[in-house]
Structure 1
């Protein structure tokens, strides 16, 4: 089992993300996730740097594998352009880059005024986008005319020795079926063993399954819960709302129905190493091979120190 650190682009500046990546490698984390957003979920999070710039910078400061968690290659950025960004990232990271993809959220994808398709159409678009990217990664000139995308005389000149693996995010039955069928791996944020099983039974086999959870490191669980509620009230927004709400203001309005106690249920709050180990075990028992923890709030170095001294050594044993 691999334990990684999740770089939250919604909450930290590019410089802070780079510092966290360096600290994560020093602490003994084995890999990195990084989120790909145009907007934060709510204004309190306060950041949203362009992920591809950050990924390039990461290649110069650490040697940990990097996965986007996740990129939507369908509306905001054409898959032919995402293919170029991912290929360059794989070259910079010397083959340690993995492209995590998903069907996206209106929060990020509607900024150009495009319609927001229903879920089934978004999955069709994702499948076609992945096929376009994989064809471009083979080299040579590509022309493609499909139901959703057109590519004309495109060629990627900067390519890694091997195409970057594509890991597919999925939470519902149709998406999990797609992930198993086309993905080189699976991405989730829920410790749901049934989803992992469905991925494996639909073609995923023994391919890697990744998942992540959030923490709010602080001197006490109460202070951690306060930080979590301040920065991530959207963690309590239920169902498909996370896919269809279009702006941070809408998420703030929906989050008014949340309570601090409800948000804290989705986090590991405070500084108890045992609670982190229990959360990691929940994901391990669900069948995940790689588990990533994200910090929220200002005390991320405390989380690094906790994992270096009290969490990662116990997992190694």
Structure 2
């Protein structure tokens, strides 16, 4: 059965509110919660970017049942992979086994801030592959020294390692990256409801993929007034229209503002269901379900109305989603 999650969208809410939303989402019956890991919002109008790992530590203590995941962390520029391994191990202990480390090759928006530049996509993929190997080695608790093409690790050990380890999900988007990363990951993360990609990932995974999770995400903008919901979605989420090939390379919220200046509210409404119709919102998940996704995280667009969404819409929406 498909599991449905709630997205802790760090770009649009402050840390205390996000912890509160996490608790409410668990109470409403969501199965898991994913957290974006950003240094900057996509757009100035969103206005937030708290540190994902501090937030998840708080959420791990404030919740009891829901699984947690980063969606996703880039372990190559802003963070050294040895530091990511330590953070993931600590969070897994705090969450008592509920945490999944989602990894990806990142976006310029978040990674350029450390002044290391923004590599071409092939180099980013090379760096990600090496980082995954380092993280896996360190999560064994063994002493690790590594001299690679992109990273050095000098006599490092994770001293507090969870007994069950930390499962890894890797975000990939095409046949080339699937062939490369499926054998290195436990779970598959994708933003596209493509059944062929899911099948290809399982074939490339090697070994038993029956327990592997296929994790996706869909934005929605529930609200009692459709026009107001469309306006909010356009203000907060018009960056979504560019697609990941564009989104990965733009460096600042100002860049996203310029790139989306001609995106109209009706353009956003064509890709994000807006308004009060919970049946229509639930139907937007059907392509992911039919493509074989086991886990689908819902993004309620905008901080304004988040409390109302969780209190009024989340429960009935989950019923409709599970009925699919």
SS at match of 1:212: strand
Tell me, yes or no, if structure 1 residue 287 matches structure 2 residue 288.
no
Tell me, yes or no, if structure 1 residue 6 matches structure 2 residue 7.
yes
CA contact (8 A) 1:79 1:129 kept: yes
Q: CA, structure 1 residues 209+308, in 2 after alignment: closer, same or farther (shift >3 Å)?
A: same
Tell me, yes or no, if structure 1 residue 212 matches structure 2 residue 213.
no
Give the distance between the partners of 1:144 and 1:73, measured in 2 at CA: 15
Tell me, yes or no, if structure 1 residue 114 matches structure 2 residue 116.
yes
Deviation at 1:68, TM superposition (A): 0.3
Task: Please list the CA deviations of residues 128-149 of structure 1 after superposition, one character each: whole Å capped at 9, or x if unmatched.
Answer: 1011011111112110000010
Tell me, yes or no, if structure 1 residue 82 matches structure 2 residue 84.
yes
Alignment partner of 1:304 out of 302, 305, 310: 310
CA contact (8 A) 2:6 2:33 kept: yes
Deviation at 1:239, TM superposition (A): 5.2
| Structure 2 segments unaligned to the other structure (5+ residues) | none
Give the distance between the partners of 1:203 and 1:141, measured in 2 at CA: 27
Give the structure 2 partner of residue 15 of structure 1: 16
CA contact (8 A) 2:22 2:33 kept: yes
Q: CA, structure 1 residues 59+234, in 2 after alignment: closer, same or farther (shift >3 Å)?
A: same
Aligned pair count?
Answer: 317
| TM alignment of 1:198-209, pairs within 5 A | 198-203=200-205, 205-206=209-210, 207-209=212-214
Give the structure 2 partner of residue 313 of structure 1: 319
SS at match of 1:144: strand
Q: CA, structure 1 residues 239+156, in 2 after alignment: closer, same or farther (shift >3 Å)?
A: closer
Give the distance between the partners of 1:41 and 1:238, measured in 2 at CA: 13
Give the structure 2 partner of residue 49 of structure 1: 50
Give the distance between the partners of 1:300 and 1:80, measured in 2 at CA: 35
| TM alignment of 1:57-206, pairs within 5 A | 57-63=58-64, 64-203=66-205, 205-206=209-210
Give the distance between the partners of 1:75 and 1:291, measured in 2 at CA: 28
Give the distance between the partners of 1:255 and 1:315, measured in 2 at CA: 31
TM-score, scaled relative to structure 2: 0.94
Tell me, yes or no, if structure 1 residue 263 matches structure 2 residue 264.
no
Task: Please list the CA deviations of residues 242-295 of structure 1 after superposition, one character each: whole Å capped at 9, or x if unmatched.
Answer: 111111111110011311111222322112110122012221011100011011
Task: Please list the CA deviations of residues 160-206 of structure 1 after superposition, one character each: whole Å capped at 9, or x if unmatched.
Answer: 11211010001122222233221110112222222212211211633
CA contact (8 A) 2:285 2:321 kept: no
